[in-house]
Amino acid sequence: MTDTEILFKNFHKKNKEEVGIRIDTFLKECFFPDFPNLRKLVSVLLIGSVAHGYHDTSSDIDIAFIFSTDTAVKQHKLSLLKWFKYRNLESRRKPLELHGQHITSLETLEKELSSWRKDWLLRELHDAVVVYDPGEKVGKLQKKYSWYPRPIYNEKINWLFAETTFLLFQRYTSGLARKNDFYLTHIKHNILTLLMLAVILVNHKFPSSHKHLYNDVRNSKIAPKDFLTAVGALLELRDRGKIYTRLQYLRKDVEILLISRKLIKKESPSYWIGQRPKYKVSIDD
């Protein structure tokens, strides 16, 4: 067993702060001795399932390397990937992972964040443990993008409910008429995803990915009564007509929640179908 394997043994039993401390040790003892020129050039973050608090024995420890410029990324990316793959992480048993898409620059990262369109990326940064950050540049980004500006938040809530209404009363009904079960199942899953995302946003949490959607809702303090029970029942249900009816009930429950939080007003389905909010919600697969 190597030093790296020992350092991260049983990491699934640790919280993200504890794992972050071990990554800091790894950087000091294993990484920076081989890359001393990067000490002032790169910030290192703990991201992924561990940072979200949803890790287990099947999880990896995902880290991100953030350089100041795109030029620095191009200069160092290949050598970093080779080092992690061939020198330090040759054994599949080692949990620490560095992927190419997780080596980026501050300028690229802020450009993507400032659009407020990549919700999963906002969540990634929000939950990340900043392990190493000379000049606290990434830490400042975390504070800057800690939550949506109110107009954008309202737009995203409106988009979720408008899209839910459109899929339910337009797409699902057309699938019913055609008795297209594959299409109906696809639409049902999309509607459930949108309603779950609405609950997550009501709880002032950035959405992450489909993988963590259920856990995010389960951990939400504000939700319609028995919401996840209803979602689970709909996943099992096969009767087209009953699915349509129960989806309407679930949509109604979320509508009541959104109205109670003063996020939307009571409107007809035709009103929502006609809406075209500017900001959508985007999550990772």
CATH of the domain at 135: 3.30.460.10
> Of the candidates 144, 172, 201, which is a domain's last residue?
144
Average pLDDT, the chain: 93
**Tokens standing for 144?**
């800057």
Write down the H helix ranges in 15-136.
16-26, 48-52, 70-82, 106-114, 119-127
pLDDT digits (tens, 9 = 90+) for 40-91: 999 999 999 999 999 888 888 999 999 999 999 999 999 999 998 876 554 4
Predicted confidence at residue 10, as pLDDT, reads 80
- Are 139 and 235 within one domain? no
Size of the chain, expressed as the number of residues it contains: 285
CA 236 to chain centre: 25
Predicted confidence at residue 254, as pLDDT, reads 99
Q: Is residue 279 part of a domain?
A: no
* Amino acid at position 105, single letter: S
CA 66 to chain centre: 19
The region, left, alpha or beta by phi > 0 then psi within -120 to 50, assigned to residue 276 is beta
- Are 27 and 49 within one domain? yes
> What mean pLDDT comes out for the span 132-154?
97
- Could you tell me the CATH number of the domain that includes residue 241? 1.20.120.330
Look at the block and give the residue holding tokens 């992450």: 208
Predicted confidence at residue 87, as pLDDT, reads 64
> What mean pLDDT comes out for the span 221-242?
97
> Of the candidates 110, 144, 178, which is a domain's last residue?
144
- The torsion angle over the Cα atoms of residues 234, 238, 243 and 246, rounded to 10 degrees, is -40
Q: Is residue 99 part of a domain?
A: yes
> Of the candidates 111, 144, 177, which is a domain's last residue?
144
Q: Is residue 284 part of a domain?
A: no
Predicted confidence at residue 1, as pLDDT, reads 44
Q: What's the pTM? A: 0.92
Write down the H helix ranges in the chain.
3-7, 16-26, 48-52, 70-82, 106-114, 119-127, 137-144, 150-166, 173-178, 181-202, 210-218, 227-236, 240-260, 269-273
CA 105 to chain centre: 20
- End-to-end Cα distance, the chain: 33
Q: Is residue 8 part of a domain?
A: yes
| Residue 158 domain boundaries | 150-273
pLDDT grade for 3, boundaries at 50, 70 and 90: low
Look at the block and give the residue holding tokens 């938040």: 153
Q: How many domains is the chain partitioned into structurally?
A: 2
